[in-house]
Amino acid sequence: MQKRLYLVTGGAGFIGSHICERLVREGHSVRVLDNFISGCEENLSEFRSEIDLVRGDVREPQTLTEAMKGVYAVFHQAALGSVPRSVADPLTTHESNLTGTLNVLISARDAGARRVVYASSSSVYGETAELPKHEGMMPQPLSPYAVSKLAGEHYIHIFKQCYGFEAVALRYFNIFGPRQDPQSQYAAVIPRFVTALLEGRRPVIYGDGMQSRDFTYVENVVEANLLASEAEGAAGQCFNVACGGRYTLIELLDRMKKVIGSDIEPEHTPPMKGDIRDSQASIERAEKLLGYRVKVNFEEGLRRTIEWFQKQA
């Protein structure tokens, strides 16, 4: 296997750290660029001595120029990843997610990197009656966060058209797994539910709990990123990354309670602004063009995640 240098922006974050771990395990050199707004150095602790850590921000072109030197490919995970935060502060979301992505693409192009793999989001689809959601559908973003991710996809397409530079967008569907932060006010639902149940608190459900999601274990996302960094014919395109299933929040909570052995009932509060009702992915395009396959299904991923949180408690 040829050893290569990869840059992971946002590499100290939840998904980014899992990508780093996989690359290190496969014998590659890894450089991480992170501003630690949402990332955590503890996420890198098990392999910290084997990576080059750069403290900086994708909004800083000079920092990116330095971080990009000698890089074979880039996994661009850095972002402010919250719908509620984007509604409250759209400008900062725009600067971090869109200006930051444009900076990454320019720096990678100028440095001669082979490809950028960009973390997009299922939120670009918005509220649609058609399920499963597929890449041929018209995006209907409902939040500044979703708009920032969709605009990044357009830049990826344009960089292929205008400069011949290769980049691929992966639309993540509700990723979960170890290292996901349950403490943030913008925390995803699974770490919030797990933590509440383990601490004997009532989990909070926004709305009636019948909204559904295609929950996707993080190992599947890592696999998709590595495939997207090499797949022929993928440049300039977007791909759903998910498991292709659908579970309501009530079903999710019931499964978690069963694994943990809890009978705590949830607390319901009003729905969040910008939140969609139902989400499920078609993963046919990723299967066909990337060679993507679901490695860890929802049930197994949920079991592993709960086990990890139990060890942290």
Sign of the alpha-carbon dihedral angle for 182, 184, 185, 189: negative
pLDDT at 275: 78
Does a structural domain hold residue 30? yes
CATH code assigned at 91: 3.40.50.720
Of 125, 145, 155, 172, catalytic: 145
Count of domains in the chain?
A: 1
186 carries an active-site annotation: no
Sign of the alpha-carbon dihedral angle for 75, 80, 84, 88: negative
Does a structural domain hold residue 71? yes
Does a structural domain hold residue 203? no
H-helix segments, 121-235: 144-163, 189-198, 218-228
Structural domain for 96, as ranges = 5-176+215-243+282-295
Contact (CB, 8 A) for 23 and 6: yes
Model pTM? 0.96
Does a structural domain hold residue 127? yes
Over its length of 313 residues, how does the chain's per-residue pLDDT go in tens digits? 689 999 999 999 999 999 999 999 999 999 999 999 999 999 999 999 999 999 999 999 999 999 999 999 999 999 998 888 999 999 999 999 999 999 999 999 999 999 999 999 999 999 888 999 999 999 999 999 999 999 999 999 999 999 999 999 999 999 999 999 988 766 789 999 999 999 999 999 999 999 999 999 999 999 999 999 999 999 999 999 999 999 999 999 999 999 999 999 999 999 887 778 999 999 999 999 999 999 999 999 999 999 999 999 7
Does a structural domain hold residue 52? yes
- Which among 169, 196, 198, 194 is positioned nearest to 179, based on CA atoms? 194
Q: How far is residue 139 CA from its own chain's centroid?
A: 18
In our burial notation (b when 16+ CB lie closer than 10 A, e otherwise), range 23-56 reads bbeeebbbbbbbbeebbeeebbeeeeebbebbeb
Separation CA 9–CA 17 (nearest Å): 10
Does a structural domain hold residue 53? yes
